[in-house]
């Protein structure tokens, strides 16, 4: 089955029947219209292209408007992503996929873009311990010695150094859906998912 495109609302907690609290991330998922269907015969693989949200008309190109009109949509989607399908699954252009695809207890994988942290040092970026804090060490958070001596007398590729942190595509697998709210198009996923509030995420089994 394909998945859904959603927006991360934030985190909260819910209580089960035994009164145990469960930390959950609330995701507003769908409804996602099927914009295009790819087949094994025509494209070499089976997939569906799903849309999410509506883009403003003054920010939509004519190509996007035509692509959306082919699927019977009034406005071009804000975001479009492809989800692979398996043999026997049949979807039609214009079909709406909702949170009814999922049930409480399902295991899913959630893909998002992590929060951008900007340029960071090795202590925050990789968890380096740093130098001793006593006696006023002049460089308590620097990475220390970088490369070997005479041979090979260079810094080896892949060395953990300061640099840009975050803003990367991240996927968390085997996450559990705790509750499904079909009226409000909400999924309650146990634990935290990548991304800031109002960022887009992809949910699939």
Higher pLDDT, 110 or 2: 110
Model pLDDT, residue 192: 95
90 - beta bridge partners?
none
Tell me: domain 1-30+99-131+161-205, CATH 1.10.10.10, correct? no
Confidence bin at 90 (pLDDT 50/70/90): confident
Average pLDDT over residues 94-117: 94
Q: Is 194 exposed, middle or buried (0-12, 13-18, 19+ CB in 10 A)?
A: buried
* Residue 73, token pair as written in the block: 């949509």
Confidence bin at 139 (pLDDT 50/70/90): confident
Q: Write down the domain spans for the chain.
A: 1-30+99-131+161-205, 31-97
Q: Is 79 exposed, middle or buried (0-12, 13-18, 19+ CB in 10 A)?
A: middle
Average pLDDT over residues 129-134: 86
pLDDT at residue 120 greater than cutoff 90: yes
Question: DSSP 3-state assignment of 72?
Answer: coil
Instruction: Return left, alpha or beta for 162; rule: phi > 0 is left, psi -120 to 50 is alpha, else beta.
Output: beta
Q: What is the CATH number of domain 31-97?
A: 3.30.160.810
pLDDT, tens digit, 9 for 90 and up, residues 26-68: 999 989 999 999 988 888 999 999 999 999 999 999 999 999 9
């Amino acid at each position: 089955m394909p998945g859904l495109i959603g927006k991360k609302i934030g985190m909260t907690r819910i209580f089960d029947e035994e009164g145990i609290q469960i930390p959950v991330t609330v995701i507003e998922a769908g409804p996602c219209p099927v914009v295009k269907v790819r087949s094994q015969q025509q494209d070499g693989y089976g997939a569906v292209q799903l849309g999410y949200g509506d883009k403003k008309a003054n920010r939509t190109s004519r190509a996007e408007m035509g692509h959306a009109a082919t699927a019977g949509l009034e406005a071009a989607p804000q975001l479009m992503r492809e989800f692979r399908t398996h043999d026997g699954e049949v979807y039609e252009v214009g079909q709406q996929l909702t949170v009814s695809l999922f049930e409480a207890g399902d295991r899913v994988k959630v893909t998002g873009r992590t929060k951008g942290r900007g340029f960071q040092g090795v202590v925050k970026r990789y968890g380096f311990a740093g130098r001793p804090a006593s006696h006023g060490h002049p460089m308590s958070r620097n990475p220390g010695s970088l490369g070997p001596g005479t041979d090979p007398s260079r810094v080896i590729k892949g060395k953990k150094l300061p640099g840009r942190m975050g803003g990367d595509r991240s996927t968390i697998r085997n996450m559990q859906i705790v509750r499904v709210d079909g009226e409000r198009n909400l999924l309650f996923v146990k634990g935290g998912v990548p991304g800031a509030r109002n960022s887009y995420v992809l949910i699939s089994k």
